[in-house]
A and B are shown apart, each in its own frame.
Chain A
Amino acid sequence: MRFDYFEPDSLDEAADLLREGGGTRKPLAGGTDIVIQLRRRAARCEGLVNLKRIPGLADWSCARGDGLHIGACTPMRDLETAAAVAGGYPSLCEAIRVVGSLQLRNIASVGGNLCNASPSADTAPPLMVLDAMASYRTDDGAEQSLPVEDFFAGPGTSVLGSAGLLLSVDLPEPAPHTGDAFERFTPRSAMDIAIASAAASVTLDAEGQRVEAVRIALGAVAPTPIRAVRAEERVVEKEPTPDLLEQAGAVAMEECSPIDDIRGTAAYRKELVRILVRRVLRRAVERARDGGRTETP
């Protein structure tokens, strides 16, 4: 596993280094995916461009009125341990908490989780339901942003070109009477990869009786993390009864396109989607009625 190693201290320099490599160099944030892939020889690259010493790229902030700003290299554990993140964006916290181990999350970044573009990336479904925007640099140096749900192009690929760089992920402050939740299914409670995952965000009216807005996203059941739009349509502008949430799960299972693999069959994954969607909707509704706060510290 030999490669050249670069430590640029500006975005321009990082982009130049990637461009000079002509597709043979990759950006390095936490390295928890790429280093393992290189060791297993599952990925090839001639050089790693470490982004962590570029000023600002590992900064994050969460202030009332401003939403949550996550620099691409922010270690997941920084967000997991922040009361403002747990309180305002519980689904994101729940997803981060199941990624690898605590010792891994002190290294692994949210940006890396997205750029690795695994269909099972745990932080993708919550970011999608939380309306997160991804800001990035294109190959020719222009800055652009797009919703996280449009960031993925397929298993292991994103909209980023070979010299492109993800800069940050920005989440708006949740609307009043909004709750969100994430769940994934794995046979083990720690150190595993999702067989299927789901996240939901629900905004209720002031009386807590009617769904005004809803977003549902699924992980590990399609070539990329996906929105379950038809399941959302089933729920929106209705009273979130247990029966309706059950129906939403049944719709969502028909919206995904999972594969058979070592972790589970396609049919098993669909059945998991049905149940996970029902559960995350129920918990999101409870949190919306509870003022949008999480019950876990």
Chain B
Amino acid sequence: MKQRYVLRVNGRGMEAAAEAHESLLDVLRENLRLTGSKKGCNEAECGSCTVLLDGRPVVSCLVLVPDAADRDVVTIEALATDGVPHPIQRQMVEQGGVQCGYCTPGMIMSAYALLLDNPDPTDDEIRFAISGNICRCTGYGKIVKAVRAAAVEMKGQAGNGGAAS
């Protein structure tokens, strides 16, 4: 039986009629038409569905929609401002961290969560943060480089008084 759930997605209250066994990922994609989060394995193995739930990265494929009700959800759609890509998004393109692109939204959300916590991560910390995001194209080197470059860019922006996110 479908029920109405109130979700706070990217700062906006949204309602979805869904069954309790449906995942947050399915509701984001199918009900709310936020298709940036990808469904890869649907078993918490690949990380392509990563979103922030109350500020923490989670695999949205395993979060049942009632568990996400009344909590803060941030998806990849929230990162660009007025059509201007977030530094992580831009650096993923510039450094060649994107090929097929399927892992990219989840990868960026993991990197975004890392940089919120730790604006100046080491390469090992970056690798640890994205170790739950599987990329089968790039081999990770360019992704790590992109996250590092984004961290530098964001620090520069923060230093100049600009918004870092």
**Residues on A facing B (Cβ under 8 Å):** 1-5, 7, 28, 30-32, 35-36, 38-39, 48, 50, 52, 77, 100-104, 106-107, 189-191
Please name all residues of chain A whose beta carbon is closer than 8 Å to the beta carbon of B56 when the two chains form the complex: 77, 106
Please name all residues of chain A whose beta carbon is closer than 8 Å to the beta carbon of B165 when the two chains form the complex: none
B45, B59, B62, B67: most-surrounded residue (chain A CB, <10 A): B62
A107 touches which one: B20, B45, B59, B128 (CB < 8 A)? B59
B62 touches which one: A3, A36, A190 (CB < 8 A)? A36
Contact A102 B21 (CB under 8 A): no
Please name all residues of chain A whose beta carbon is closer than 8 Å to the beta carbon of B43 when the two chains form the complex: 36, 39
Contact A5 B64 (CB under 8 A): yes
- Find residues 3-60 in chain B having any chain A CB closer than 8 Å to their own CB: 19-21, 42-45, 47, 50, 53, 56-59
- Report Cα–Cα, A150/B123, bound state, in Å: 42
* Chain A residue with the shortest CB-CB distance to B20: A5
A-B contact count (CB 8 A): 76
Contact B66 A107 (CB under 8 A): no
Contact A100 B44 (CB under 8 A): yes
A103 touches which one: B20, B42, B67, B132 (CB < 8 A)? B132
Q: When A50-B67, A52-B67, A102-B132 are in contact, do A5 and B21 touch as well, CB less than 8 Å?
A: yes
Q: Is B129 an interface residue (CB 8 A)?
A: yes
Distance between A107 CB and nearest chain B CB, rounded to angstroms: 5
- Report Cα–Cα, A116/B43, bound state, in Å: 16
Distance between A26 CB and nearest chain B CB, rounded to angstroms: 13
Write 14 A-B pairs (CB below 8 A) sorted by A numbering.
Answer: A36-B43, A36-B62, A101-B131, A102-B57, A102-B110, A103-B44, A103-B57, A103-B58, A103-B110, A104-B59, A106-B53, A106-B58, A190-B131, A190-B132
Q: Is B63 an interface residue (CB 8 A)?
A: yes
Q: When A32-B62, A35-B62 are in contact, do A104 and B110 touch as well, CB less than 8 Å?
A: no
- Report Cα–Cα, A189/B132, bound state, in Å: 11
- Report Cα–Cα, A38/B21, bound state, in Å: 10
Contact A101 B62 (CB under 8 A): no
Contact B64 A101 (CB under 8 A): no
Contact A35 B64 (CB under 8 A): yes
Contact B19 A104 (CB under 8 A): no
Please name all residues of chain A whose beta carbon is closer than 8 Å to the beta carbon of B19 when the two chains form the complex: 2
Contact B64 A107 (CB under 8 A): no
Distance between B74 CB and nearest chain A CB, rounded to angstroms: 13
* Chain B residue with the shortest CB-CB distance to A100: B44
Q: When A39-B43, A50-B66 are in contact, do A103 and B59 touch as well, CB less than 8 Å?
A: yes
- Report Cα–Cα, A35/B41, bound state, in Å: 13
Closest 4 CB pairs of A and B: A101-B132, A5-B20, A190-B131, A106-B56
Please name all residues of chain A whose beta carbon is closer than 8 Å to the beta carbon of B47 when the two chains form the complex: 101, 103
Please name all residues of chain B whose beta carbon is closer than 8 Å to the beta carbon of A100 when the two chains form the complex: 44, 132
* Chain A residue with the shortest CB-CB distance to B61: A35
- Report Cα–Cα, A28/B21, bound state, in Å: 12
Contact B62 A107 (CB under 8 A): yes
- Report Cα–Cα, A28/B62, bound state, in Å: 12
Distance between A72 CB and nearest chain B CB, rounded to angstroms: 16
Distance between B154 CB and nearest chain A CB, rounded to angstroms: 20
Please name all residues of chain B whose beta carbon is closer than 8 Å to the beta carbon of A30 when the two chains form the complex: 62
- Report Cα–Cα, A7/B20, bound state, in Å: 11
Contact B45 A191 (CB under 8 A): yes
Distance between B45 CB and nearest chain A CB, rounded to angstroms: 6
- Report Cα–Cα, A104/B62, bound state, in Å: 8
Q: A5-B21, A189-B131 are in contact. List 7 more A-B contacts (CB 8 A).
A: A28-B64, A31-B67, A35-B64, A102-B57, A104-B44, A106-B58, A191-B131
